[in-house]
Amino acid sequence: NAGVTQTPKFQVLKTGQSMTLQCAQDMNHNSMYWYRQDPGMGLRLIYYSASEGTTDKGEVPNGYNVSRLNKREFSLRLESAAPSQTSVYFCAIPSGTSSYEQYFGPGTRLTVT
Amino acid sequence: SQQGEEDPQALSIQEGENATMNCSYKTSINNLQWYRQNSGRGLVHLILIRSNEREKHSGRLRVTLDTSKKSSSLLITASRAADTASYFCATDAAGSYQLTFGKGTKLSVIP
């Protein structure tokens, strides 16, 4: 998954705690995406950013905030974590081949107890 | 809501056999893609087919698209143990780069 890095790889939170998931890319793409994947499910889009300084809601934005302060980084924040946010979180960027194809980071596995 | 629904949910075959999985979707699309996910890893793009295409090949992969039935199929020929993974279809609508994923088919290839 070279080109997209995510930190941390694993995290356990207690209900009500906050945390920020980090995503960084070195492929100079304008667009970046945050997805969540629940067990036995496909990915659902949380937020996306079409360019530095802009963000838009996806399918499941409730309970999350995002920040795109520069072209390289796109962070996802959980202000008050809930057990329903237990999931694997993936960051993605467009691939070099097509703006429609996406290139995914390795994911962050989050458990909220 | 999930746009695509893959069928079957799980598939187990012997090495060397062909694997076919299907995807149905609900609304008009611009493109349909297939991704592979190995256990515990991120998704990897396999192939994209445009709405005006009916069939596309890439190595051992063959994808078909029937927009009148809002369905697509992915055929993996001469399967290998390394093909064991979950496979997801994803669609995008005209004017949008956002992808909507199905729930996936879990393929197990037995050596």
* pLDDT at residue B47, rounded to an integer: 96
Tell which residue, A15, A12, A13, has the closest CA to residue A82.
A15
Evaluate if residue B85 carries a pLDDT over 50. yes
Name the CA dihedral angle for B99, B103, B108, B109, rounded to a multiple of 10 degrees: -40
**Å from B17 to nearest chain A CA?**
25
Q: Provide the percentage of residues in chain A whose pLDDT is more than 70.
A: 98
Q: Which residues of A touch B97 (CB under 8 A)?
A: 31, 94, 99-100
Residues of A contacting chain B (CB within 8 angstroms)? 1, 31, 33, 40-45, 48, 58-59, 90, 92, 94-95, 97-107
SS3 content of chain A, % helix, strand, coil (to 5): 5, 50, 45
Out of A90, A101, A105, closest to residue B45 by CB: A101
Residues of B contacting chain A (CB within 8 angstroms)? 1-2, 4, 30-31, 33, 40-45, 48, 88, 90, 92, 97-104
pLDDT tens, position by position, A22-39: 999 999 999 999 999 998
* pLDDT at residue A12, rounded to an integer: 97
pLDDT tens, position by position, A40-91: 888 999 999 999 999 999 999 999 999 998 999 999 999 999 999 999 999 9
User: CA–CA distance from B44 to each of A95, B26, B35 (Å)?
Assistant: 10, 24, 5
Q: What's the CA gap between B70 and B93, in Å, rounded?
A: 13
pLDDT tens, position by position, A62-73: 999 999 989 999
* pLDDT at residue A1, rounded to an integer: 47
Q: Provide the percentage of residues in chain A whose pLDDT is more than 90.
A: 86
* pLDDT at residue A39, rounded to an integer: 85
- pLDDT averaged over every residue in chain B: 93
Evaluate if residue B111 carries a pLDDT over 90. yes
Q: What's the CA gap between B15 and B80, in Å, rounded?
A: 5
The pLDDT of B32-42, averaged and rounded, is 93
- Residue B1 — pLDDT band, cuts 50, 70, 90? very low
Which pair of tokens denotes residue A78? 């959980």
- Residue B3 — pLDDT band, cuts 50, 70, 90? low
Pure H helices in chain A: none
- pLDDT averaged over every residue in chain A: 94
Q: Which chain A residue is nearest to residue B33, measuring alpha carbons?
A: A101
Q: Which residues of B touch A97 (CB under 8 A)?
A: 45
* pLDDT at residue B90, rounded to an integer: 95
